[in-house]
Chain A
Amino acid sequence: MDIVFTAATVSYAGRVALHPLDLTLGERRIGVVGLNGSGKTTMARLVNGLVKPTAGTVTVGGLDTVKDAEAARGRTGFIFQNPQHQMILPILAEDIAFGLKNRGLDKAEIAGRTEAILARFGISHLARRRVHELSGGETQLGAIASVLVTGPDFLILDEPTNQLDLKNRALIERTVAGLPEQVLVITHDLALLDTFDRVLVFHEGRLAADGRPAEAIRAYREVAAC
């Protein structure tokens, strides 16, 4: 599925957060790096329609994120920096099921799909656990499961290994690597991007570099050193 940015621009109160961006993303693994405030989160939020472009367009599989907002959002999932904030219900299985319930599925299908997604991520044993009792890695896995259960084609993860210890970081790296869905990861964890297909570097609201991980990270180190 292609994500297409066409002169997509975002401004807040006269300040440009993202300068006109023309870009097509079709790879399976896409990394986004940049200094704090460089525009990378704004760019990612455009994909999910959480941020609307002040000019230009963004399409997800041909669906405009403004005109076809609901349909476009249904094809993308978003994992926030603090996944606790997106867990609305306190029990993991209930939270996962809640996303399906809102789509009007019947009870049997909700239960089946919830069990299946828990099993897919190897966290069936956590089904009845309270989300605040989960470790950092378990919370990330739970959040990913709760988003993927609704079947998006494209998953965005905003700093998924932030504040995780080495063990949990490795767990999330393995999980992301194994996802069949298209994935866009915003991160400061450069090692995570080694196996990615494409890495975008943002700097001061503009796309500063775009290429294979090694060359893009080299470019990032140069702009970060300035």
Chain B
Amino acid sequence: MLNGLDIEGSSPLHRMPVRGKLLLLFVAAIGLFLLSDLRLLAPALLLAALVYLSTGIGLAEAFRRTRFVLFTVLLVAAMNWLVHSPLEALAVFCRLSALVLLAAAVTATTGISAFMDEIARLIAPLERFGFARAADVSLAVGLVIRFVPEIFARYQDIADAHRARGLPVRPLTTLAPLIILTLKDADTIAMAIDARGFRRH
């Protein structure tokens, strides 16, 4: 299990400043939504996949991380197939999948600390007008990224406990303890944040 979602490496994306990566992702997202020609969207998807794999993540891990979102993209594309046309569905699939892979590439090459610093810098102007506390927002984003893999690991533990007791792994019996344990952990983490003085009151 990875703790945090970034992987160590020295790919060009790893070396690029966080702001540059976020800016490129933003521009790519706008570009992908402006394109509607499948002859351009299909190569764009291929390029996004290559960018993602250039981070050194490995095919299996790359698929493991994005499969749930890609499955959702597939459902959206299927709906478009039914409502619009097969071509439209393919375009939607290429567009959204390319975006998912590019975002995953940014996540895989950006440490949580650097990401939090950048978020805080980007939100700082809002703080001046009293709309948000930059440090709190960046801490919240960092916590989500940091603890998402722990929640998956916790689910795995609960599923293993079911199997060990010879019980079938059902959503109802796994999700309830997962939610309870996650909330319990969240209480402790909130207390630890207070104890370490990360939030100013």
A residues whose Cβ falls under 8 Å from a Cβ of B: 48-50, 69-70, 73-74, 77-78, 80, 82, 85-86, 88-91, 94, 97-99, 102-103, 130-133, 146-147, 150
Ranked 5 nearest A-B pairs via Cβ: A90-B4, A86-B192, A132-B3, A78-B195, A94-B113
Given contacts A80-B192, A102-B197, A130-B3, contact A89 B135 (CB under 8 A): no
Does A98 lie within 8 Å of B188, measured CB to CB? no
A88-B142, A147-B196 are known; give 10 further A-B pairs, CB within 8 A.
A48-B195, A70-B197, A74-B197, A85-B188, A86-B195, A89-B113, A90-B3, A99-B198, A102-B135, A150-B197
Please give, as numbers and ranges, the residues of chain A lying within 8 Å of B105 by CB-CB distance: none
Q: Please tell me the size bucket of the interface on B.
A: 20 to 34
The closest CB in chain B to the CB of A95 belongs to B113
Does B197 lie within 8 Å of A73, measured CB to CB? yes
Please give, as numbers and ranges, the residues of chain A lying within 8 Å of B196 by CB-CB distance: 77-78, 86, 88, 99, 146-147, 150
Please indicate which of the listed interface residues A89, A133, A150 has the most CB atoms of chain B within 10 Å of its own CB. A89
Please give, as numbers and ranges, the residues of chain B lying within 8 Å of A146 by CB-CB distance: 196
Does B197 lie within 8 Å of A85, measured CB to CB? no
The closest CB in chain A to the CB of B194 belongs to A50
Cβ of B162 under 8 Å from chain A: no
Does B3 lie within 8 Å of A70, measured CB to CB? no
Does B197 lie within 8 Å of A90, measured CB to CB? no
B residues whose Cβ falls under 8 Å from a Cβ of A: 1, 3-4, 6, 111-113, 135, 139, 142-143, 146, 185, 188-189, 191-198, 200-201
12 contacts across the A-B interface (CB closer than 8 A): A48-B195, A70-B197, A73-B195, A78-B192, A88-B139, A89-B4, A89-B142, A90-B112, A91-B113, A102-B197, A102-B198, A132-B1
Please give, as numbers and ranges, the residues of chain B lying within 8 Å of A70 by CB-CB distance: 197, 200-201
CB < 8 Å neighbour of A50 from B3, B191, B198 = B191
Please give, as numbers and ranges, the residues of chain B lying within 8 Å of A147 by CB-CB distance: 196
Min Cβ gap B41→A in Å is 35
The closest CB in chain A to the CB of B197 belongs to A73
Does A130 lie within 8 Å of B4, measured CB to CB? yes
* Complexed CA–CA distance, A103 and B200 (Å): 10
* Complexed CA–CA distance, A137 and B141 (Å): 29
Does A99 lie within 8 Å of B195, measured CB to CB? no
Does A80 lie within 8 Å of B112, measured CB to CB? no
* Complexed CA–CA distance, A49 and B4 (Å): 30
Min Cβ gap B148→A in Å is 11
Please give, as numbers and ranges, the residues of chain A lying within 8 Å of B192 by CB-CB distance: 78, 80, 85-86, 88
* Complexed CA–CA distance, A50 and B139 (Å): 19
Please give, as numbers and ranges, the residues of chain A lying within 8 Å of B111 by CB-CB distance: 91, 94
CB < 8 Å neighbour of A94 from B112, B189, B195 = B112
Please give, as numbers and ranges, the residues of chain B lying within 8 Å of A94 by CB-CB distance: 111-113
Please give, as numbers and ranges, the residues of chain A lying within 8 Å of B4 by CB-CB distance: 89-91, 130
Min Cβ gap A132→B in Å is 4
Please give, as numbers and ranges, the residues of chain B lying within 8 Å of A86 by CB-CB distance: 189, 192, 195-196
